[in-house]
Chain A
Amino acid sequence: MHLDATIATFLIQDGLTNGAVYALLGLAIVLVFSVTRVIFIPQGEFVAYGALTLATLDTGNVPGTPKLLLCFGVAAFLLDLWSWRRDLKVDALLRNIALNLGLPLLIYGAVLYLAPLQLPSVVRVLITVSIIAPMGLYVYRIAYRPLADASVLVLLITSVGVHLAMLGLGLIFFGPEGLRAAPLHDGSFTMGPLLVTAQSVLIYLMTILIMIALYFFFEKTLLGKALRATAVNRLGARLVGVRTQLTGVTAFVLAATIAALSGVLMGPITTIYYDTGFLIGLKGFVAAILGGMGSFPVTAIAAIGVGMVESFASFFASNYKEIIVFGLIVPVLIWLSIGAIHHEEE
């Protein structure tokens, strides 16, 4: 097949759509890393959970994720009980019960009631996000909080463990078959020679909206500023009264929310299997590495680039698509490495 203008515009649109989602994921990775020093590899599982939950809700069935959320909540509850075994306070216990048992039970009940009602797609999306987002809270509590002072290396290996466990849970709760969610809006329109689907417009809008929301969160709210303070200097933030555990939890819940939304956006444009999320998340990683694991704007721009490269690679060398995309980090590492030498001599 020969590349002509029509195909090129199609590939560009495809690249932009995927790139926008990678941008969201890249932002979440940078957010979590700068606040907690955790390299958030299980992000991809949150994406898959989001997409698969939405696709199951589309069919009017109850997805496995609310039950999983309940399991996470119970685990967090038991761990809290264990850590408080010598000094149990009633008010803390009540709060713990409300947060770790009450919240997931409430969500579970709501999903049981709402799932068969065939509600409009916006509501299904909201349900999906409210199932997945609290998982960030529990995953942080269960896996990362006990290791808050560990080295980046230990946290990274932990992340890989969490990834593996959540991948396995995805297989158990959703099975090996792939699912595709219904488009949130199945309209489309033409712009010159270009056919634009409503779903892709939705993705662009959503991405921009989330970025604006994040900007306001970090610039205008006290919690957002606390997160930034933690990112700049963890100990310093703690000394001036920022509760770094709270900022850690916030970062994880935000990241889980963004990942769930990414899953919701990706779900209707590609078939998602329990292990697809990991590959999608890794492309967010490639973007985050391109941004030096620190810069939000560079990460977002790099993510669009990753989407574009992927899109054109799938046309010119579809067999080597993944190899080319993951190979992208090689020149970046060389570039960063040269920068590091320069820095050393400076």
Chain B
Amino acid sequence: MMANKHLMPGIAAIALLAVFPLLPVPPFWITLANNIGLASLVAIGLVLLTGVGGLTSFGQAAFCGFGAYTTAVLTTAYGFSPWVTLPLSLLVGAAVAVPLGLMTVRLSGHYLPLGTIAWGLAIYYLFGRIELLGRYDGITGIPPLNIAGYPFLSGQSIFYVIWVFVILTAIGAQNLLDSRTGRGIRALRGGGQAAEAFGVNIIRAKLIVFIFAAIVAALSGWLYAHMQRSVNSTPFGLNMGIEYMLMAVVGGSGYIWGAIFGSAFVLIVKEILQRVMPELVGTGINVEMVVFGVLLVAILQLARNGLWPMVARLMPPKGQLQIPTSVRKLAKRTLAPAGSPLIKVDRARKAFGGLVAVSDVSFEVKAGQIVGLIGPNGAGKSTTFNLITGIASLTSGSVSYQGQPLTGNSPREIAKHGIARTFQHAKILPDMSVLENVALGAHLRGSAGVLRSFLRMDREEEATLLAEAAYQLDRVGLGQYRDRPAGDLALGQIRILEIARALAADPTILLLDEPAAGLRHGEKQELAALLNKLRQEGVSVLLVEHDMGFVMGLVDHLVVLDFGTLIAEGRPAEVRRHPAVVAAYLGGVA
């Protein structure tokens, strides 16, 4: 029971919700609670979209409209049963989100919100103009929901329907975040570059959250239509879209339960402003917009994570994550036989306009080797590295992996070959735990999708992924930090964390971009020992490095670049004496 202590507030809240309509409260409290439930659904979608995914939309009210109008038309004009229209309403919401999402997810982040403002306005006007939707008068006479002949007519009865949907949606959303797909979505806010290097399709991840947000908004609209039993275009305008955003911001970015808190907060404040203020001031001045506008700006300035974290601090802490020890082992790649060619760079060239950063460079990495790529500043090391990892594209020449060309492949496709990398400027997700950061590396070794995650049917696979991540953390010596937020680690530890993440991908080759930079002497020795051990296990390494002492004692083969051209390669001892290398590093006369 101790382990489940953090569930207590949730159970208490559900119990309170269950008895709330039975209490002798004024009827408008019930109405308010119903509206909070409806708004919570939309806000949960926005939290996922904005707080977690780093995208945003002001057009969520329009998606509610699609849900509401779909069921209104089908039940009144075509005699459908409300339960039949539920999937149809959600489907329409999703169908509207897909094209808008496809249009905007590839663009910089501000196009989606701007698009949703314009889109939201256009759709709002459309609702009020279309004959089928009853123009501005809307549609009335929508049948109530019913189960086995019992109609949900009263506010008290529909209360239960609404809140069951809210709680199920919140739990599902929570499940989704705590999964393989969810890690991909949570990686979006960090720019997604690291996630993509481990095989996350970030375009798809963005679309998934946008469509999810649209579907829950449509669900809210469907419920609204059957609660109100009539619809018109008023509640689906841009102002409501902004209000939903306020709820998500008040609740806080990234907190599913915060969405419900934020909805309650905003709607209760609104109720007070509309009911109490006029009695107090005695005039009909509408201060609601001013208050909400100021509130939105103030929260962003003073508490950008919203108010929920302050509430959450009062709750009992979550217990330590238990990782089952007896789990199925993940399948491992068969490594190429030692000495066979793994990566072949053939006359690779990269020109930025007139500047040739990499000029016809050729070299090879053989299986089981550690190869160092060195050179003075501006030699083209990082560009060469980016050409191999697919971040930059070749002007001419080719890069191949075990004979298969990598040219033109995206980082995501390159990751599928078992090529795992670290970044020069470490790209971790500071809010996620160390363990989850590493588990992101194992993304391609799992297969659970949105639905399995949402319904919690991914647990066995998820356990194996987490166990693998924990194993890699122990392997690099960061096991004790498993449950800490990755942002708490020191720079040197973060570099090691990136290596653990790369190892979680079960790589045949590791590409390390300046792994020793920022490490202390002892840490460098540990890193060298780790890389040596990996070599013995058959994993190849290509590393870009500045620290000569570190490189010389470690690598089998050195490639030296200067001004974009390869000036020497060979065993470290040979390269060290090479006149061109001496000249490039010491500036002496060759």
Q: Is A303 an interface residue (CB 8 A)?
A: no
Q: Which of B107, B117, B289, B291 contacts A340 (CB under 8 A)?
A: B107
**Which A residue's beta carbon lies closest to that of B288?**
A168
Q: Is the CB of A169 within 8 A of B290?
A: yes
Report if A161-B297 is in contact (Cβ < 8 Å); known contacts: A39-B110, A333-B103. Answer: yes
Residues of B within 8 A of A164 (CB): 239, 242, 289-290, 292-293, 296
Residues of A within 8 A of B287 (CB): 168, 172
Q: Is A152 an interface residue (CB 8 A)?
A: yes
Contact residues of A: prevailing secondary structure? helix
Q: Is the CB of A152 within 8 A of B110?
A: yes
Q: Is the CB of B293 within 8 A of A156?
A: no
Report how far A97 CA is from B410 CA in the complex, Å.
57
Q: Which of B55, B239, B286, B297 contacts A162 (CB under 8 A)?
A: B297
**Which B residue's beta carbon lies closest to that of A154?**
B300
Residues of B within 8 A of A151 (CB): 109
Q: Is A112 an interface residue (CB 8 A)?
A: no
Residue of B110, B249, B288 ringed by the most chain A CB atoms within 10 A: B110
Q: Nearest Cβ in chain B — how far from A276, in angstroms? A: 13
Interface string of A78-96 (1 = CB under 8 A from B): 0000000000000000000
Which positions 296-338 of chain A face chain B at CB distance < 8 Å? 319-320, 322-323, 326-327, 329-330, 333-334, 336-337
Q: Is B54 an interface residue (CB 8 A)?
A: yes
Which positions 87-118 of chain B face chain A at CB distance < 8 Å? 102-104, 106-111, 113-115, 117-118
Q: Is B294 an interface residue (CB 8 A)?
A: yes
Residues of A within 8 A of B122 (CB): 322-323, 326-327
Report how far A291 CA is from B94 CA in the complex, Å.
29
Residues of B within 8 A of A209 (CB): none
Report how far A334 CA is from B300 CA in the complex, Å.
32
Q: Is the CB of B56 within 8 A of A153?
A: yes
Q: Nearest Cβ in chain A — how far from B117, in angstroms? A: 7
Report how far A167 CA is from B291 CA in the complex, Å.
11
Residues of B within 8 A of A333 (CB): 103-104, 107, 111, 115
Which positions 283-335 of chain B face chain A at CB distance < 8 Å? 285-297, 300-301, 304
Q: Which of A147, A154, A161, A320 contacts B293 (CB under 8 A)?
A: A161
Residues of B within 8 A of A157 (CB): 50, 56, 245, 249, 296, 300
Q: Nearest Cβ in chain A — how far from B442, in angstroms? A: 26
Q: Which of A39, A165, A345 contacts B114 (CB under 8 A)?
A: A39
Interface string of B50-93 (1 = CB under 8 A from A): 10001110100000000000000000000000000000000000
Report if A160-B129 is in contact (Cβ < 8 Å); known contacts: A154-B304, A337-B104. Answer: no
Residues of A within 8 A of B249 (CB): 157
Q: Is the CB of A285 within 8 A of B297?
A: no
Q: Is the CB of B296 within 8 A of A282?
A: no
Q: Is B125 an interface residue (CB 8 A)?
A: yes
Q: Is the CB of B110 within 8 A of A168?
A: no
Q: Nearest Cβ in chain B — how far from A135, in angstroms? A: 15
Q: Is the CB of A285 within 8 A of B114?
A: yes
Report if A161-B289 is in contact (Cβ < 8 Å); known contacts: A285-B118, A333-B104. Answer: no
**Which B residue's beta carbon lies closest to that of A169?**
B290
Q: Is A194 an interface residue (CB 8 A)?
A: no
Report how far A146 CA is from B304 CA in the complex, Å.
12
Report how far A322 CA is from B341 CA in the complex, Å.
62
Q: Is B126 an interface residue (CB 8 A)?
A: yes
Report how far A293 CA is from B54 CA in the complex, Å.
20
Q: Is A143 an interface residue (CB 8 A)?
A: yes
Q: Is the CB of A337 within 8 A of B286?
A: no
Residues of A within 8 A of B239 (CB): 164
Residues of B within 8 A of A162 (CB): 293, 297
Q: Is A62 an interface residue (CB 8 A)?
A: no
Residues of A within 8 A of B410 (CB): 344
Q: Is the CB of B293 within 8 A of A289?
A: no
* CB pairs A–B below 8 angstroms (10 shown): A157-B56, A158-B296, A158-B297, A158-B300, A161-B294, A165-B292, A166-B293, A282-B121, A319-B129, A329-B119
CB-based closest 6 A-B pairs: A165-B293, A168-B289, A161-B296, A164-B293, A168-B290, A326-B122
Interface residues of A (CB under 8 A from B): 39, 41, 142-143, 146-147, 150-154, 156-158, 160-169, 171-172, 282, 285-286, 289, 293, 319-320, 322-323, 326-327, 329-330, 333-334, 336-337, 340-341, 344-346
New contact pairs (10) apart from A323-B125, A344-B106, CB-CB < 8 Å: A150-B304, A151-B109, A157-B245, A165-B294, A168-B293, A282-B117, A282-B118, A333-B104, A340-B107, A341-B106
Interface residues of B (CB under 8 A from A): 50, 54-56, 58, 102-104, 106-111, 113-115, 117-119, 121-122, 125-126, 129, 239, 242, 245-246, 249, 285-297, 300-301, 304, 393, 408, 410
